[in-house]
Amino acid sequence: MIDLDTPLAQILVVEDDEAARLMMTTTLKKAGFNVHDAANCSSARALFASYKFDLVLLDVLLPDGDGFSLCNEFLLEPNGRDLPIAIVTGLDDVESIKMGYQSGATDFITKPVSWGTLPYRVQYILQGSRTILNLSVSESKTRALLSSIPDILMRIHRDGWVLDMQVGSISFDIQEWFYAVDGEVYGRLPPEVNRAVFAHIHAALKGEGMQLLEFQWSHLPERVCFWEARIQQRDDNEVLMVVRDITQRKQHENQLRLSAKVFEGTNEAILITDANLNIISVNRAYENITGYSQADMLLSNADSPKVGLRHYSFFEHIISVLKERGHWQGELLNQRKSGEYFPCWFSINQVLDINGAPENYVAIFNDITEHKNSRAQIDFLAHHDSLTGLPNRTLFNDRIEMAINVAHREGKKLGVLFIDLDRFKNINDSLGHLVGDQILKETAARLTQVIRSGDTVSRLGGDEFVVLFPTISDERNIAELTLKLSVALQQAYLVDGITLHITPSIGIAIYPDDGETFDELIKNADAAMYLAKERGRNNYQFYTPVLNARTLDRLKLEAGLRKALELGHFELHYQPLIVGSDCSIRGAEALVRWRHPERGLIPPMEFIPLAEETGLIIPLGEWVLTEAARQLKQWHQRGYVDLVVSVNISVLQFKQPEFLARVETILQTVGIEPKSIELELTESILMGDMEASIQILQQFCDRGYRIAIDDFGTGFSSLSYLRHLPIHLLKIDQSFVRDMFVEPASLAIVDSIIGLARALGKETIAEGVETEAEYSLLMQHGCRLMQGFYFAKPMPAIEFERWIKANNHSVMNSGPL
Ligand code: C2E
Ligand code: CA
Ligand code: CA
Decide: 774 in ligand 1 pocket, CB within 6 A.
Answer: no
Q: Look at residue 817 and tell me whether its pLDDT is greater than 50.
A: no
Cα–ligand 2 centroid distance for 812 (angstroms)? 24
The winner for highest mean pLDDT among 273-282, 347-356, 563-572, 720-729 is 563-572
- The protein residue with its alpha carbon nearest to ligand 1, atom 46, reads 648
Residue 681 near ligand 1, beta carbon < 6 Å: no
Confidence at residue 550, expressed as pLDDT on a 0 to 100 scale: 60
- Whole-number Å distance between alpha carbons of 464 and 816: 52
The average pLDDT across 483-489 equals: 91
Q: Whose CA is nearest to atom 37 of ligand 1?
A: 591
Ligand 1 pocket, 428 CB below 6 A?
no
Q: Measured from the CB, is residue 211 less than 6 Å from ligand 1?
A: no
343 pLDDT more than 80: yes
Angle (deg, nearest 10), helices 433-450 and 424-431: 140
More confident residue, 542 or 5: 542
Ligand 1 centroid–CA 156 distance in Å is: 120
CA dihedral over 405, 406, 410, 416, signed as positive or negative: negative
Is the CB of 770 within 6 Å of ligand 1? yes
Instruction: Let me know how many helices (H) and strands (E) the chain has, helices first.
Output: 27, 36
Cβ atoms of 388 and 396 within 8 Å: the answer is: no
Contact (Cβ atoms closer than 8 angstroms) between residue 302 and residue 273:
yes
Tell me if 711 CB under 6 Å of ligand 1: yes
State the distance from the centre of ligand 3 to the C-alpha of 640, rounded, in angstroms. Answer: 25
Ligand 3 center to residue 765 CA distance, Å? 10
Give the residue-averaged pLDDT of 677-686: 90
Of the candidates 483, 647, 513, which has an alpha carbon nearest to the alpha carbon of residue 572?
Answer: 647
Whether residue 65 contacts residue 43, with contact meaning beta carbons closer than 8 Å, is answered with: no
For residue 603 and ligand 1, the question of a CB distance below 6 A is answered with: yes
Structure confidence at residue 717 (pLDDT): 56
For the segment 246-265, the average pLDDT, to the nearest whole number, is 85
Ligand 3 center–CA 733 separation, angstroms: 5
Q: Whose CA is nearest to atom 34 of ligand 1?
A: 648
- Examine the pLDDT at 160 and tell me if it is beyond 80: no
Is the pLDDT at 498 greater than 60, yes or no? yes
**Residue of 88, 59, 56, 89 lying closest to 74 (CA atoms):** 56
Q: Is residue 544 pLDDT above 80, yes or no? A: no
Please tell me the distance between residue 197's alpha carbon and the centre of ligand 1 in angstroms.
111
Residue nearest to atom 20 of ligand 1 (CA): 768
Q: State yes or no: pLDDT of 775 exceeds 90.
A: yes
Of 749, 619, 624, 760, nearest to 680 by C-alpha is 624
Q: In what order do the strands lie in the sheet with 456-461?
A: 456-461, 464-472, 413-421, 504-511, 540-542
Ligand 1 and 733: CB distance under 6 A? no
604 lines ligand 1 (CB under 6 A): yes
Mean pLDDT of 2-26: 81
Which of 626, 627, 648, 729 is the pocket-test mutation for ligand 1 (most atoms within 8 Å of CB)?
Answer: 648
Q: Is the pLDDT of residue 425 over 90?
A: no
- Strand, helix or coil for residue 248: helix
Question: What pLDDT is stored for residue 729 in this prediction?
Answer: 94
Q: Which of 408, 555, 423, 483 is nearest to 467 (CA)?
A: 483
Rounded distance from Cα 609 to ligand 1 centre (Å): 13
Hey, whose CA ends up nearest to atom 12 of ligand 1? 768
Contact predicate 522/416, CB 8 Å: yes
The residue whose C-alpha atom lies closest to atom 45 belonging to ligand 1 is 648
Asked whether residue 725 carries a pLDDT value surpassing 80, the answer given is yes
- The larger pLDDT score, comparing residue 600 to residue 548, is at 600
Q: Please name which ligand lies nearest the alpha carbon of 731.
A: 3
**Pocket of ligand 1 contains residue 650 by CB under 6 Å:** yes
With pLDDT > 70 as the criterion, what percentage of the chain qualifies?
Answer: 91
Strand 785-786 and strand 763-766: the pairing is: parallel
Q: What is the pLDDT of residue 788?
A: 97
* Amino acid identity for residue 9 in this structure: A
Going by pLDDT thresholds of 50, 70 and 90, the confidence category of residue 580 is very high
Helical (H) or strand (E) element with 273: strand 269-274
> Taking the model in full, what pTM does it have?
0.45
- Of 34, 60, 38, which Cα lies nearest the Cα of 48? 38
Distance 567 CA to ligand 2 centre (A): 25
pLDDT exceeds 70 at position 6: no
Rounded to the nearest angstrom, the distance between the alpha carbon of 713 and the centre of ligand 1 is 16
Query: From CA 218, how far away is CA 148, in angstroms rounded?
Result: 22
Q: CA quadruple 165, 171, 173, 179: dihedral positive or negative? A: negative
Q: For the chain, what percent of residues have pLDDT higher than 90?
A: 37
- Lowest-pLDDT range of 114-118, 359-363, 604-608: 114-118
- Nearest ligand 1 atom to the CA of 794 is 11
DSSP letter (8 states) at residue 537: S
Q: How far is the CA of 150 from the centre of ligand 3 (A)?
A: 114
Distance (Å) from CA 630 to ligand 2 centroid:
19
Ligand 1, residue 770: give the atom nearest the CA. Answer: 18
Distance from C-alpha of 336 to C-alpha of 561, rounded to nearest angstrom: 61
Q: Say which residue, 173 or 587, is predicted with more confidence.
A: 587
Residue 816 has pLDDT above 50, yes or no: no
Q: How far is the CA of 156 from the centre of ligand 3 (A)?
A: 126
Protein residue with least CA distance to atom 41, ligand 1: 592
Quick one: which atom of ligand 1 is closest to the CA of 593?
38
Could you read off the pLDDT of 691-723 as tens digits, one per residue?
888 999 999 999 999 999 998 887 655 566 777
SS (H, E, C) 309-359: CCCHHHHHHHHHHHHHHCEEEEEEEEECCCCCEEEEEEEEEEEECCCCCEE
Q: Whose CA is nearest to atom 3 of ligand 1?
A: 711
pLDDT of res. 811: 38
Residue nearest to atom 33 of ligand 1 (CA): 648
d(CA 552, CA 460): 20
pLDDT in tens, 581-618: 999 999 999 999 999 988 899 999 999 988 988 889 99
Per-residue 3-state assignment (H helix, E strand, C coil) for 733-751: CHHHHHHCCCCHHHHHHHH
Res 460 pLDDT > 80: yes
- Please give the distance, rounded to the nearest whole angstrom, from the Cα atom of residue 768 to the centre of ligand 3: 8
646 lines ligand 1 (CB under 6 A): no
**DSSP element (H, E) containing 95:** helix 94-102
Which atom of ligand 1 is least distant from the CA of 731? 3
What is the rounded distance in angstroms from the CA atom of residue 366 to the CA atom of residue 386? 31
Of these ranges, 192-196, 477-481, 553-557, the one predicted with the greatest mean pLDDT is 477-481
Nearest CA to ligand 1 atom 21: 768
Question: With bands split at pLDDT 50, 70 and 90, how would you rate the model's confidence at 164?
Answer: confident
Query: What is the predicted pLDDT for the residue at 179?
Result: 66
Q: Which of 657, 643, 424, 655 is nearest to 537 (CA)?
A: 424
Predicted pLDDT of residue 311: 47
Neighbours of 138 (CB within 10 A): 11
User: Using one digit for the tens of pLDDT, what is the confidence trace for 730-763?
Assistant: 999 999 999 999 988 899 989 989 998 998 899 9
Ligand 1 center to residue 175 CA distance, Å? 119
Least confident of 13-27, 152-166, 267-281, 352-366: 152-166
Q: Which amino acid is at 524?
A: N
Tell me the CA–centroid distance for residue 602 and ligand 2, in Å: 17
Give yes or no for a contact between 435 and 519, defined as CB atoms under 8 angstroms apart: no
Quote the ligand 1 centre to 746 CA distance (angstroms).
20
Q: Is the CB of 713 under 6 A from ligand 1?
A: no
CA atoms of 233 and 231, how far apart (whole Å): 7
Query: Band of the pLDDT at 548, cuts 50, 70, 90?
Result: low
- Is there an atom of ligand 1 within 6 Å of 605 CB? yes
Please give the number of the atom of ligand 1 that sits closest to the Cα of 767. Answer: 15
Of the candidates 514, 620, 523, the one whose C-alpha atom is nearest the C-alpha of residue 562 is 620
Ligand nearest to the CA of 714: 3
Cis peptide bond upstream of 7, omega within 30: no
- With a cut of 60, say whether residue 352 has pLDDT above it: yes
Rounded average pLDDT over 451-457: 91
Calpha distance 609→450 (Å, rounded) = 42
pLDDT confidence tier of residue 813, bands split at 50, 70 and 90 = very low
Give me the sign of the Cα torsion angle 454, 460, 466, 470. negative
Which of 591, 795, 817 for a ligand 1 pocket mutation test, highest count of atoms within 8 Å of Cβ? 591
Q: Is the CB–ligand 1 distance for residue 674 below 6 Å? A: no
Kindly give the number of the ligand 1 atom that is closest to the alpha carbon of 711: 3
> Does the C-beta of 245 come closer than 6 Å to ligand 1?
no
What mean pLDDT is predicted for residues 19-36? 89
Q: How far is the CA of 653 from the centre of ligand 2 (A)?
A: 15
The band of 501, judged by pLDDT with boundaries at 50, 70 and 90, is: confident
Testing ligand 1's pocket by substitution, the residue of 608, 666, 772 carrying the most ligand atoms inside 8 A of its CB is 608
Supply φ then ψ for residue 309, to 5 degrees. Answer: -80, 130
Q: Report the mean per-residue pLDDT for the chain.
A: 86
The Cβ-side half-sphere exposure at 634, using a 13 Å CA radius, reads 9
680: CA distance to ligand 2 center in Å? Answer: 6
In this structure, which residue's CA is closest to atom 42 in ligand 1?
A: 648
Ligand 1 pocket residue status of 624, Cβ below 6 Å: yes
d(CA 302, CA 808): 90
365-379, 513-527, 630-644, 800-814: segment of lowest average pLDDT = 800-814
Distance 137 CA to ligand 2 centre (A): 133
Decide if pLDDT at 432 tops 90: no
Q: Side chain identity at 354, as an amino acid letter?
A: I
Minimum CA distance residue for ligand 1 atom 7? 768
Between CA 387 and CA 385 the distance in angstroms is 6
Q: Cα–Cα distances in Å, from 636 out to 122, 664, 670? A: 149, 19, 12
Give the tens place of pLDDT for each residue, 623-649. 999 999 999 999 999 999 999 999 999
